[in-house]
Structure 1
Amino acid sequence: MTEMRLPAGLELLRPLISGSGRVEPAWIDHHNHMNVGYYGVAIDACLHGFTDVVDMGKAYRDTTNCGFFVLESHQTFKSEMRLGDEFVITCQLLDYSPKLMHIMAAMYRLGDDALAATAEYLWGHVDRERRRVVPFPADRLQALAGLHESHQAFAPVISAGLSIGIKR
């Protein structure tokens, strides 16, 4: 990803930045704000930057025929996004195992640095031909260990493992 200028309030998150974008006209709904489904589209598109960081992007998919499937997800919505709003997406590796990654993505609105949304994912490392979760190659597992260690310096933007419910 090319070097981007970040507002001072987000500069500390630079190691976690995986992409950026702008709210598109097609993403606006009848409430005149970004439709809920497009938060996932925007976050997912920017997570390709994260797979590149761990050398498991397009070249990896093409040579190994492995990639990532989302096995579980949870989103929260914190601030409205409107037409033309610019954003950055961060991605933090919370945990990993020989076959899985637990990540937390966050969308920040540029201009006021507001947290707009979060997305927590459990990704499975999948053989795309067999359609089964398979172990990471040893070198990628080692890379994940290093990344996980460096990401421990950052507190997750919200608590991981949240569930939906009405507080009584």
Structure 2
Amino acid sequence: MFISPAMQIEKGWIDYNGHLNMAYYNVLFDRAGEDAFEKIGLGAEYARTRALTSYSAEVHVCYVRELHFGHSVTATFQLLDHDEKRMRFYQELRHVDGWLAATCEQLSLHVDMSGPRVVPFPPDILANLERVQANHASLRPPVRAGRAIAIKRKAPE
């Protein structure tokens, strides 16, 4: 599993409730994801030299515990699935003390920037994804992955 370097919560990210604004959880997940993408071969250099990149198609964030200015966090990246044009991955944002702050599950599309249009991964990137997914297959499936947003109702008596 990929684990990001430590990231600091910035003062400007704190909202009027005194904690990290929800948008900046996504910034942290994105920064950590970029690090993982780079290691897979899908980073900034890939986009610049091949005019191929990834776009987020769907993102599901669960906010578990508040973060505050001065906190330091890391994020994991676990590849759950992929096919010739898409990746599904899961991330956890953890305070450096170990407690869970948020989770993120995402579906990402591989895109030719000249379209833009969704296209298959090149063979070398597909091989990297297959290698990473094989390594990540030994990890426990995340409990929070695959969740749907719903309001649970009690059955009428």
Question: What's the TM-score, normalizing by structure 2?
Answer: 0.93
Q: How far off is 1:16 after superposition? A: 2.0
CA contact (8 A) 1:19 1:90 kept: no
CA RMSD across the alignment = 1.1
Which digits, 9 at most, give the CA deviation of each residue in 1:120-168, with x for residues without a partner? 1100000111111100001111111110010112224433221111112
Q: Structure 1: where are the runs of 5+ without partners?
A: 1-14
Q: Structure 2: where are the runs of 5+ without partners?
A: none
| Aligned counterparts of 1:106 and 1:63: Cα–Cα separation in 2 | 30
Which digits, 9 at most, give the CA deviation of each residue in 1:102-137, with x for residues without a partner? 0111100012x1110011110000011111110000
| Aligned counterparts of 1:91 and 1:156: Cα–Cα separation in 2 | 12
CA contact (8 A) 1:92 1:151 kept: yes
| Aligned counterparts of 1:32 and 1:130: Cα–Cα separation in 2 | 42
The reply on whether 1:57 has 2:43 as its aligned counterpart is yes
Q: Determine which of 110, 135, 139 is the counterpart of 1:154.
A: 139
- Which residue of the partner structure matches residue 113 of structure 2? 128
Count of matched residue pairs: 153
Q: How far off is 1:18 after superposition? A: 3.2
Structure index of larger Rg: 2
SS in 2 for 1:29: coil
| Aligned counterparts of 2:11 and 2:144: Cα–Cα separation in 1 | 32
User: 1:146–1:122: structure 2 CA closer, same or farther, 3 Å change rule?
Assistant: same
- Which residue of the partner structure matches residue 144 of structure 1? 129
The reply on whether 1:94 has 2:94 as its aligned counterpart is no
1:142 is aligned with what amino acid? A
The reply on whether 1:27 has 2:3 as its aligned counterpart is no
| Aligned counterparts of 2:144 and 2:20: Cα–Cα separation in 1 | 24
- Which residue of the partner structure matches residue 4 of structure 1? none
2:112 is aligned with what amino acid? D
Q: Give % identity.
A: 34
* Greater than 2 Å deviation, 4+ residue runs: 156-159
Question: What's the TM-score, normalizing by structure 1?
Answer: 0.87
